[in-house]
Structure 1
Amino acid sequence: MRASCVIFVALLCFSLGSAKLFDDELRELTEFLRLQMRCGYPARGVPILAPAQIAYQEIALRSENFGCNGNFTELILEGLDGYEFSKLEWNNVLNTIKFDMNFPKISLKSSNYKLNLLARLFGADFSLWGDGVWSLELINFRAYGSFVIRPKSATSGVYVKSWKVNWELEEAKSQSTGFMNSRLYTKFINDLIKEYLDILINDNPTEVSQFMEELIVPPMNLVLENVAWYEITAIILGLVDGILPVEAIC
Structure 2
Amino acid sequence: MRFIVVVVVLLAITALALADIEDNEIDLVPEESSTVEVDSPISEIKPRFIISWQVRRLLKRLRKQMPCGFPDQGIPPLAPYRLEELKYDLQTSILETFNEIFHFKIDGLDNFKIKKFTLNLIKRRIQFDFLFKKIKFTGKYTTDTLLNAMNSLGIKLSYEGKGDLDLSLEKMSLKGELKYKLPVLFGSAKITEFYALLTIEKCKSNISELGGNGKLNRLLNDKIESSIVDGINDNQDDISAKMEEMFVPKVNKALKGINFWDIWDKIFNGDSSEEEVDGDDDDDICIPPPDPWA
Specify which structure has the higher proportion of strand: 1
Q: Which amino acid aligns with 1:72?
A: I
1:101 Cα deviation from its structure 2 partner? 0.8
Counterpart position of 2:142:
114
Distance 1:240 1:69 in 2: 54
Provide the identity percentage.
23
Match of 1:91? 120
Deviation at 1:56, TM superposition (A): 2.1
Which residue is 2:76 aligned to?
A: 47
For 2:10, which of 5, 12, 16 is the aligned residue? 12
Partner of 2:256: 225
Instruction: Work out which of the residue numbers 204, 207, 211 in structure 2 matches 1:180.
Output: 211
Provide the C-alpha distance between the structure 2 equivalents of 1:217 and 1:122, rounded to a whole number of angstroms: 43
Does residue 60 of structure 1 match 2:65? no
Alignment partners' CA distance in 1, 2:8 and 2:95: 56
Write out per-residue CA displacement over residues 135-168 of structure 1, whole angstroms, 9 at most, x where no aligned residue: 1100010011110122367465322222121111
Q: Within 5 Å, which residues of 2 pair with 1:76-155?
A: 76-110=105-139, 112-119=140-147, 121=149, 126-151=157-182, 154=185
| Residue of structure 1 aligned with 2:271, choices 215, 221, 242 | 242
When the two structures are superposed, what TM-score results if normalisation uses the length of structure 1? 0.82
Letter in 2 for 1:102: L
- Taking the aligned partners of 2:197 and 2:5, their CA distance within structure 1 comes to 34
SS of the residue 2:192 aligns to: strand
Provide the rounded CA distance (Å) in 1 between the counterparts of 2:189 and 2:97.
38
Q: Which has the larger radius of gyration?
A: 2
Q: Cα distance 1:65–1:10, how it changes in 2: closer, same or farther (>3 A)?
A: farther
Letter in 1 for 2:73: R
Gaps of 5+ in 1: none
1:97-133 Cα distance to aligned partner (Å, 9 max, x none): 11111000001100x2102234555877654344111
Give the aligned partner of residue 233 of structure 2: 202
Q: What do you get for the CA RMSD once the two structures are aligned? A: 3.1
- Give the 3-state SS of the residue equivalent to 1:173 in structure 2: strand
Alignment-derived partner of residue 29 in structure 1: 58
- Which residue is 1:211 aligned to? 242
Question: 1:233, 1:63 → 2: CA distance?
Answer: 52
Q: Check whether the contact 2:95–2:149 (CA below 8 A) recurs between aligned residues.
A: no
Distance 1:102 1:6 in 2: 43
Q: Deviations over 1:60-103 (max 9, x none)?
A: 34455543323111111111111211111011112211111100
